[in-house]
């Protein structure tokens, strides 16, 4: 999942975004995603379109591109979805509206509207671990029955993540194509529950790729050697919600030399303090040592 780099004047930093995408594919990503940690909730529609116009062509021929299109109205979400498809997106992803609590029927209709607006797959994202309300299992099942396994994928993030993921897997007899997006902290558990893939932030991507490969190889020692420092870092991000992810992720992107700054779209509810930054840096050193 890409972090959006900004120039001092607030515009998207095209050069840095390209560098981020190049690095993601270099370290083994199968695709790139514009999502919540791309700060889409704080971007005007024109800038969201701009991101799609930059990301989709940059990913083409190298891997997948997924564009988040969730919005406060079905019409706006559909418009963003059609635009993403026109730019060559491999799939779109959406969270439900967050300004109001919808009934299960209205939530289902919202996602169905997006799915009908495009021909590419829709990833139904429950981001209620840090924003919005949880999506009921009935909504998932209805969408899957209506559109099929090639058109509807899932990214459930409601707590408790593991048991909820297993409920969806079992209710669909293993047919649901489920992706995990906890930043890596729940990856080991979710992998064992049968996920199709994971969508981590770019900041820890090299480590998550290595962890995924260790899980595929059945290397238990390597798995936990990597997952423990990853989990320590993500625990710090989670402690401050979405703003915690954004602040720490951009701190690490600058530390890696990929981003020139840590600018976030304002306002934010939490900023990285010196003591948290010091702990992040200590854990990052341990993680880099584990990767050698």
Mean pLDDT, the chain, whole residue set: 96
What does the pLDDT look like over 253-292, one tens digit per residue?
A: 999 999 999 999 999 999 999 999 999 999 999 999 999 8
Residue 246 covered by a domain: yes
* Total domains in the fold of the chain: 1
Residue 268 covered by a domain: yes
pLDDT number for residue 181: 87
Residue 4 covered by a domain: no
| CATH for 235 | 3.20.20.70
Report whether pLDDT(194) > 80.
yes
What does the pLDDT look like over 14-33, one tens digit per residue?
A: 999 999 999 999 999 999 99
pLDDT band at 13 (very low <50, low <70, confident <90, very high): very high
* CA atoms of 145 and 230, how far apart (whole Å): 36
Residue 7 covered by a domain: no
Report whether pLDDT(101) > 90.
no
Residue 8 covered by a domain: no
Element spanning 156, H or E: strand 152-156
Q: Residues 161-198, buried b or exposed e (16+ Cβ, 10 A)?
A: beebbbebbeebeeebbbbbbbbbbbbbbbbebebebb
Report whether pLDDT(125) > 80.
yes
Instruction: Count the neighbouring beta carbons within 10 Å of the beta carbon of residue 129.
Output: 19
Residue 9 covered by a domain: no
Statement: the pTM of the whole predicted model exceeds 0.85: yes
Cα-based distances in Å from 143 to 91, 105, 107, 109: 16, 11, 10, 9
Query: What is the domain range of residue 205?
Result: 14-291
Residue 32 near residue 17 (C-beta atoms within 8 A): no
């Amino acid at each position: 999942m890409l972090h959006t780099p900004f120039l001092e004047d607030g515009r998207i930093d095209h050069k840095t975004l390209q560098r981020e995408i190049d690095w993601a594919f270099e370290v083994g990503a199968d695709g790139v995603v514009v999502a919540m940690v791309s700060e889409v909730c704080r971007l005007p529609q024109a800038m969201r379109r701009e991101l799609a116009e930059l990301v989709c062509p940059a990913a083409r021929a190298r891997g997948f591109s997924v564009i988040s299109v969730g919005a406060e109205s079905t019409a706006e979400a559909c418009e963003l979805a059609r635009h993403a498809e026109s730019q060559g997106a491999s799939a779109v992803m959406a969270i439900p509206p967050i300004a109001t609590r919808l009934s299960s029927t209205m939530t289902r209709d919202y996602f169905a509207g997006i799915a009908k607006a495009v021909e590419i797959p829709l990833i139904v994202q429950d981001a209620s671990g840090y924003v919005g309300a949880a999506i009921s299992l009935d909504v998932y099942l209805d969408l899957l029955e209506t559109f099929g396994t090639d058109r509807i994928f899932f990214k459930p993030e409601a707590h408790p993540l593991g048991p909820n993921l297993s409920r969806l897997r079992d209710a669909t007899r293993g047919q649901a194509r489920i992706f995990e997006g906890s930043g890596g902290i729940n990856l080991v558990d979710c992998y064992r529950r049968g996920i199709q893939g994971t969508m981590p932030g770019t900041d820890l991507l090299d480590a998550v790729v290595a962890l995924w490969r260790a899980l595929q190889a059945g290397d238990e020692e390597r798995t936990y050697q990597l997952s423990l420092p990853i989990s320590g870092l993500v625990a710090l991000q989670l402690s401050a919600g979405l703003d915690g992810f954004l602040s720490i992720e951009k701190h690490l992107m600058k530390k890696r030399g990929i981003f020139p700054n840590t600018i976030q779209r304002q306002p934010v509810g939490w900023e990285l303090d010196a003591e948290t930054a010091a702990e992040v840096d200590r854990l990052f050193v341990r993680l880099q040592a584990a990767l050698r």
